[in-house]
Amino acid sequence: MKSELNRNYSEVTEFILLGFRTSPEVQILLFLLFLLIYMVMVVGNISLLVVIKTDSRLHTPMYFFLRNLSYLDLCYSTVIAPKTLATFLSKDKRISYNGCATQFFFFALFVGTEGFLLAVMAYDRFSAICSPFLYTVRMSQQACVRLVSGSYICGCINSMIQTGFTFSLHFCGENRLDHFFCDVPALIKISCVDTFVNEIVLFILSALIIVTTTTVILVSYAYILSTVLKIPSTHGRSKTFSTCSSHITVVSLFYGTVFFMYAQPGAISSPEKSKVIAVFYTLIIPMLNPLIYSLRNREVKNAVKRILLRNISFH
């Protein structure tokens, strides 16, 4: 039996991404919608990267972290979107076994890193508001680089564990993934061996990341709220807390979708629900992030105006 299982497992060299099972006409509409969202995401994040890089007034720790956030959004959407767009127009929906593992590794790396980076950004706001005199010491250039590097290291460890456990599973002939990219829940579902350990690992890792990072975020904002409430003027409180509003919105969107996708033991039993949520955090959130940080951030809007005026004056 074991030799038969291993023989069948060795035959699975590719997967078929079923994606959204709809009529050809709807597939074209979905292609156009996804393409539009992806293009807006790319333009928005690249524009934010350029603005932060160009305007010297934005060369601060907060915008250093924001620049990395835009980079991560670009990366993990680009890991998913091109292949998804191709499957909408092509009858060939195959992805190789190694391609699937590679796609998942980088997706898990960038998403995990973003979770840790959002916690770092909350700590940055805590340091700026609660300890302004120590801020330049706590958030020196070296400290910022170490915090971002630590986020990538933690994201990489999570990705290696997830990828290692997931692709050590046996797939006995069934290679149709009821998803539009290679994700753990869909892979677990088609495995022909007991996946209890993998489900527990997925749940524990996701819960551990969510609990640790949200604890940092909640504690940071508890101190921020306490400090803001001590400011006597309403204008002062509003101005101080406005620097956090964009981050709070992004955190709520990101952690809300990740929690519903991965941190519930029953989440993997609903593929259609998983697809909808996955669209939200692979494309919608990365598209919204630069809009949130530009439309709700006075410094970014002023920087855009200065760049535009400079270019107009130059011409």
Looking at residue 269, what is its pLDDT?
55
Looking at residue 273, what is its pLDDT?
75
Please, are residues 268 and 189 in contact by the beta-carbon 8 Å criterion? yes
User: How far is Cα of residue 25 from the mean position of the Cα atoms in its chain?
Assistant: 30
Exposed e or buried b per residue across 89-126, where buried means at least 16 C-beta atoms within 10 angstroms of its C-beta: eeeebebeeeebbebbbbbbbbbbbbbbbbbbbbbbbb
pLDDT tens digit string along 151-177? 999 999 999 999 999 999 888 878 999
Give the angle subtended at the CA of 230 by the CAs of 225 and 234, to the nearest 5°.
90
For residue 183, which of 114, 108, 255 has the smallest C-alpha distance?
108
Looking at residue 86, what is its pLDDT?
93
Token pair for residue 110? 């960038």
Looking at residue 70, what is its pLDDT?
96
Looking at residue 7, what is its pLDDT?
47
d(CA 241, CA 235): 10
Distances (CA, A) of 127 to 132, 138, 155: 6, 7, 23
pTM of the model: 0.90
Q: Is 173 left (phi over 0), alpha (psi -120 to 50) or beta?
A: left
Q: Does domain 14-298 have CATH number 1.20.1070.10?
A: yes
Looking at residue 264, what is its pLDDT?
57
Ranges of residues in the chain whose predicted pLDDT is under 50: 1-9, 268
Looking at residue 10, what is its pLDDT?
52
Token pair for residue 229? 């409430």
Looking at residue 8, what is its pLDDT?
45
Please, are residues 130 and 223 in contact by the beta-carbon 8 Å criterion? yes
pLDDT tens digit string along 20-59? 888 889 999 999 999 999 999 999 999 999 999 998 889 9
For residue 19, which of 99, 110, 94, 75 has the smallest C-alpha distance?
94
Longest Cα–Cα distance of the chain, Å, equals 77
d(CA 285, CA 155): 19
Please, are residues 183 and 277 in contact by the beta-carbon 8 Å criterion? no
Segments making up each domain of the chain, as ranges: 14-298
d(CA 151, CA 147): 6
d(CA 107, CA 110): 5
Please, are residues 290 and 47 in contact by the beta-carbon 8 Å criterion? yes
- Radius of gyration (Cα) for the chain, nearest Å? 22
Where are the alpha helices (H) located in the chain, listed in sequence order? 2-11, 24-54, 61-89, 97-130, 135-138, 141-166, 184-190, 196-229, 234-262, 271-279, 285-295, 298-314
Looking at residue 166, what is its pLDDT?
92
Looking at residue 293, what is its pLDDT?
86
